[in-house]
Structure 1
Amino acid sequence: MPPTQLTRQVAARIVDYIRAEQVATGTRLVERTLADQLRVSRSPVRNALRLLAESGAVAEAERGGYTVLEIGDLDLTEDAEDGADEAVYLTIASDRLDGALPDRVTESALARQYGLTPAQLNRILRRASTEGWIERLPGYGWEFQPTLTSEQSYADSYRFRLTIEPAAILEPTFVLDRQALEHVRDQQQRLADGAIHDLDNIALFNINHVFHETIAECSRNGFFIEALRRVDNLRRLVEYRRSLPRARGVVRCREHVEIADLLLTDRRTEAAERMREHLSSVTTEKTGS
């Protein structure tokens, strides 16, 4: 039996997630985690992973779940991506941030406003949904998720992170996920070595928020983890339009590497203090406060 449209859509969203988060080959994917990330039930995720396994993008893992093999140019949609998608995607994000779009929209209205084909619109909405700033409504239409819109709320988000992220490192339940941390550390080292100059703001935001969330997840405290994920989604659209000059970004990536190295050598107190210093500097640079 051929895969359903839902299976193809979820599979494509998993591919988008893997690309956006730069998930490394060999990384284990878990149904429950993906279902939570994509905000769908586990059944379509399971079917989508089977489809991706058939395509050679993932493989079944010995202890359950799947591991990433090779995404490459895998395309599960009927149409190849249009190079104009990125520009339209950023325009929609910018219009939403500026208050030019209502909280709820229909596909037909978006298609008319931005001159999109059904395939283009599907790709853009799927990507925005994967990134967490829009959700499909039951039955009909889409709803934009809350986002930061003022300078004060943006600054407040950094003050909040300055409070919770160092604290998460010092949680008594903290257990280092060495493989995950080594992966994100290597990503930051590549950025510091020059790869940062080849990335746009979206890709850079995705890599950096994964670094911080990976550390928070080691706390094993669901409140810290969920709070950071939520604030990252709230500030996402602002970060798409605002980024540090790449020369300053290199400095911050080196700080990420330092924090990871401290954690990898079991120096949590120092890592927490370094995280506080790092976030203080970024807060000043991005908000002037």
Structure 2
Amino acid sequence: MTRALADVLAANIHQYIVQTPIAPGTRLPERALAERFHVSRSPVREALKRLAAQAVVAAHPDGGYAVAEAVMPAAAAATRETGDANEQTYLAIAEDRLAGDLPERVTENELMRRYRVTRAQLNAILRRMAQEGWIERRPGHGWMFQPVLTSAETYRQGYRYRLLIESAGILEPTFQLDRAALLRCRAEQEVLANGGVRTASPAVLFDANSRLHETIAACSGNAFIVDGLRRLDRLRRLMEYRKAVDRDQAERRCQEHLTLIDLLLTDQREAAADFLKLHLHNAVREKTSD
């Protein structure tokens, strides 16, 4: 593990704490952070040590770390400022890619000149994009964008595909509830539903919501269902960023997520499958009405 990886990951975790926001005292499980940032637990552990040294997190009585009771205001403001700048650049790249203003292959120097960012800033953004699956490093030199959904019709087709597979996954004979993973998703959705959705970035909203749907798909025990949904989520990510966020609709979808989770936790699978269909129908109607 490189020092650079731990530094970037620490910055990403700090940004996640500030932007979500996560209440002081909330525990930060290594496994959940590893899943969120698509890394192993070892770099997460090292990143948390760095954040502990900065008083961003503190040791939890039951082990591991929790959000510190008082994150230093200056450090939090600096992190938010850097995170906001990186987020704006990230979204600008996404928009330019969707608009066809960026070629399939690009170099770091080209991107630095175009978006007026430092190499360190660009490296953090490229790492995030690569983790999300819409760009990858070319052997030897440069980067290559991966295919994404680019039209309203393919976007609608994606939702119709989800209607076919997601509710069916809940009714699979191999379905086995991952209660711990679902409870982590519930905690995240509860934060959003209780006001977090009003300030969360489009990327934070997409990640939280896709993580819940993929967690439920993984419970199906059907590798084709979960793999299909993950591939689709990579393809539709940029289309979601392009759409203006209706905060009222987003909050309502988070409330629906809580209902869906509670149906699953109480073993009401048929009701959950029906509710998921309704939820997806509502989402596609709201998002394609413009």
Query: Over aligned residues, Cα RMSD in angstroms?
Result: 3.4
C-alpha distance 132-25 of structure 1, shift in aligned 2 (>3 A): farther
Q: SS in structure 2 opposite 1:220?
A: coil
CA distance in 2, matches of 1:11, 1:270: 45
Alignment TM-score, normalising by the size of structure 2:
0.79
Does the C-alpha gap of structure 1 residues 258 and 48 become closer, same or farther in structure 2, counting only changes over 3 Å? closer
Q: Report if aligned partners of 2:10, 2:47 keep a CA contact under 8 Å in 1.
A: no
Q: CA 1:244–1:51 in structure 2 vs 1: closer, same or farther (change >3 Å)? A: closer
Confirm or deny that 1:48 pairs with 2:49.
Answer: no
Residue type matched to 2:242 in 1? Answer: R
Listed as ranges, the matches of 1:64-79 within 5 Å are none
How big is the shift at 1:161? 0.7
Of 29, 53, 58, which residue of structure 2 is paired with 1:27? Answer: 29
Alpha-carbon distance between aligned partners in 2 of 1:250 and 1:32, rounded to the nearest angstrom: 26
| Equivalent residue, structure 2, for 1:108 | 109
| SS, match of residue 82 in structure 2 | coil
Provide the rounded CA distance (Å) in 2 between the counterparts of 1:26 and 1:113. 37
Partner Cα separation in structure 2 for residue 30 and residue 247 of structure 1:
27
Partner residue of 1:160? 161
Q: Is residue 278 from structure 1 mapped to residue 279 from structure 2 by the alignment?
A: yes
Query: Tell me, what secondary structure is at the counterpart of 1:135?
Result: strand
Please report how far the alpha carbon of residue 186 of structure 1 lies from its aligned counterpart in structure 2 after TM superposition: 2.6
In 1: Cα distance, 2:6 partner to 2:152 partner: 35
Which whole-Å CA distance do the structure 1 matches of 2:156 and 2:149 have between them? Answer: 10
Q: Which residue of 1 aligns with 2:8?
A: 12
Matches of 1:11 and 1:46, distance apart in 2? 15
- What is the match of residue 63 of structure 1? none
Moved more, 182-191 or 210-219: 182-191
Corresponding position of 1:62:
none
Note the C-alpha offset of 1:162: 0.8
Q: Deviations over 1:62-87 (max 9, x none)?
A: xxxx9665597999xxxx93742222
Offset at 1:92?
Answer: 0.9
Quote the Cα distance in structure 1 between the aligned partners of 2:33 and 2:87: 29
SS of 2:12's equivalent in the other structure is helix
Match of residue 207 from structure 1: 208
**Post-superposition shift, 1:183?**
2.1
Conservation of the 8 A alpha-carbon contact between 1:188 and 1:256: yes
Deviation at 1:250, TM superposition (A): 2.1
Deviations 1:142-182 (A, max 9, x none): 11111100111111111111111101111111111112212
Aligned counterpart, 1:125: 126
**Contact 1:13–1:127 (CA under 8 A) maintained in structure 2:** no
- Mapped partners of 1:206, 1:271: distance in 2: 22
Query: Percent of pairs identical after alignment?
Result: 43
SS of the aligned residue for 1:84 comes to: helix
Partner of 2:100: 99
Partner amino acid, structure 1, of 2:46? L
Q: Where does residue 143 of structure 2 map in the other structure?
A: 142
